Amino acid sequence: MANEQILVIEDEQDILELILYNLTQNGFRVVGTPSGEDGLEQARRTPPALIILDIMLPGVDGLEVCRTLKNDDRTRSIPIIMVTAKGEETDIVTGLELGAEDYITKPFSPKVLVARVRTILRRVQKRESENQSRIVIHNLVIDSGRFEVLVDNKPATLTHTEFMILHLLANRPGWVFTRYQIVNSIRGEDVIVTDRSVDVQIVGLRKKLGSAGKYIETVRGVGYRFKE
């Protein structure tokens, strides 16, 4: 993970310098730009390991930058951490639905940002192994090949939709999924899944998982994630 290149797109000079300094001090190679247009050009010219992207940018804003990157085969797989102002829940949800992996709100601790960067890079490195048919986290075992879930070595009986939601969340521990992303990522055969019914499915899923139900965390105003 050391010496990975990070692209920072942030128009506030003091925040840009703060991010550049702290990432550099932690062994990363960092390129910074205050412009969305320049950021897009840089990402295409030399794809970085990760992008830190401010939403509120002059000209081409952060959401448009995110949309463009995720629609381009050359940059689609680059993980993005959005930087947002406090209370911008709508922008956070939109960014996640466009494909951003995580977000952090201003003001933020540089140590927290560096930790988020390291966590995302670890996830990317483990992405292929996370797509395995058998997932073991804590006291929970999810076997997609057998369509089986065990909690403390005891079977948990889930519907098809509940299993798909659990597998989606557990396959990317720590990642925040909006309700819209959950609906679009699963194909419920036993019930029609809608944005509103996701909450009902989560309640039922937590109950059936018993002690493991606590691993499914609610991210207020955004969606759900599986505890790392």
Specify whether the CB–CB gap between 223 and 179 falls below 8 A. yes
Task: Specify the CATH number for the domain of residue 220.
Answer: 1.10.10.10
Q: Are residues 89 and 139 in the same domain?
A: no
Q: Count the helix, strand and coil residues of the chain and give each as a percent rounded to the nearest 5.
A: 45, 20, 35
**Which of residues 69, 101, 125 is at a domain's end?**
125
Q: Are residues 10 and 88 in the same domain?
A: yes
**Which of residues 76, 96, 125 is at a domain's end?**
125
Q: Are residues 14 and 85 in the same domain?
A: yes
Q: Are residues 112 and 169 in the same domain?
A: no
- Determine phi and psi for 135, rounding to 5 degrees: -115, 130
Q: Are residues 83 and 141 in the same domain?
A: no
pLDDT, mean of each 10-residue run, the chain (228 residues): 84 94 94 95 93 93 94 89 83 90 90 92 69 80 87 91 91 89 69 72 94 94 89
Cα 45 to chain centroid, rounded: 24
Q: Please count the structural domains in the chain.
A: 2
Give the amino acid at 198: V
- Determine phi and psi for 5, rounding to 5 degrees: -90, 130
Does the CA dihedral 48-70-67-226 come out positive or negative? negative
- Token pair belonging to 193: 């899944």
The predicted pLDDT at position 124 comes to 78
Task: Specify the CATH number for the domain of residue 98.
Answer: 3.40.50.2300
The predicted pLDDT at position 190 comes to 46
Structural domain for 74, as ranges? 5-125
Give the amino acid at 63: L
The predicted pLDDT at position 188 comes to 46
DSSP assigned state of 219: E
Q: Are residues 147 and 118 in the same domain?
A: no
The predicted pLDDT at position 194 comes to 65
**How far apart, in whole angstroms, are the C-alpha atoms of residue 108 and residue 158?**
39
Specify whether the CB–CB gap between 5 and 31 falls below 8 A. yes
SS3 31: strand
Q: Are residues 118 and 147 in the same domain?
A: no
Q: Are residues 10 and 98 in the same domain?
A: yes
